[in-house]
Amino acid sequence: MSEHTMRAVTLSGFGGPEVLTVGRVARPEPLPTEVLVRVHAAGINPVDWKTRAGQGMAGLQRLPLILGWDVSGVVEEVGFGVTTLAPGDEVYAMPWFPRPAGGYAEYVTAPSRQFARKPASIGHTEAAALPLAALTAWHALVDTAGVRAGQRVLVHAAAGGVGHLAVQMARHLGAEVVATARESRHAWLEELGADETIDYTRQRFEEATGGVDVVIDLIGGLDATDVRSVAVTRPGGLVVSVPGGVSPALAAAAGRAGVRTSPLLVEPDGAALTAIAGLVDSGAVRVAVEHVFALEQAAEAHRRGETNRTRGKLVLDVAG
Ligand X SMILES: NC(=O)c1ccc[n+]([C@@H]2O[C@H](COP(=O)([O-])OP(=O)(O)OC[C@H]3O[C@@H](n4cnc5c(N)ncnc54)[C@H](OP(=O)(O)O)[C@@H]3O)[C@@H](O)[C@H]2O)c1
Residue 138 near ligand X by CB under 6 A: no
- Rounded CA gap, 227 and 157, in Å? 15
Among 10, 109, 125, 180, binds ligand X (CB under 6 A): 180
Instruction: Round the CA-based radius of gyration of the chain to a whole number and report it.
Output: 19
CB of 104 to ligand X, least distance (A): 16
CB of 17 to ligand X, least distance (A): 15
Among 92, 104, 107, 200, binds ligand X (CB under 6 A): 200
The per-residue DSSP string of 62-128 comes to -SSEE---EEEEEEEEE-TT--S--TT-EEEE-TTTTS----SBSEEEEEGGGEEEPPTTS-HHHHH
CB of 110 to ligand X, least distance (A): 18
Residue 186 near ligand X by CB under 6 A: no
Assign 3-state DSSP to the chain and report helix, strand, coil percentages, each to 5. Answer: 30, 30, 40
Residue 167 near ligand X by CB under 6 A: no
C-beta atoms surrounding 57 within 10 Å:
17
Closer of 85 and 242 to ligand X (Cβ): 242
Cα 18 off chain centre by? 23
Residue 162 near ligand X by CB under 6 A: yes
Interface stretch with ligand X, choices 15-23, 40-48, 246-254, 281-289 (CB under 6 A): 40-48
Closer of 168 and 180 to ligand X (Cβ): 180
Residue 185 near ligand X by CB under 6 A: yes
Residue 270 near ligand X by CB under 6 A: no
CB of 203 to ligand X, least distance (A): 11
CB of 37 within 8 A of CB of 71?
yes
285 burial type by CB count under 10 A (0-12 exposed, 13-18 middle, 19+ buried): buried
- Rounded CA gap, 168 and 173, in Å? 9
Residue 239 near ligand X by CB under 6 A: no
Residue type, 100: P
CB of 156 within 8 A of CB of 219?
yes
CB of 315 to ligand X, least distance (A): 12
Closer of 154 and 279 to ligand X (Cβ): 154
Residue 46 near ligand X by CB under 6 A: yes
**Contacts with ligand X, residue ranges (CB under 6 A):** 45-47, 132-133, 136, 156-157, 159-163, 180-182, 185, 200, 218-219, 222-223, 242-243, 264-266, 305, 308-311
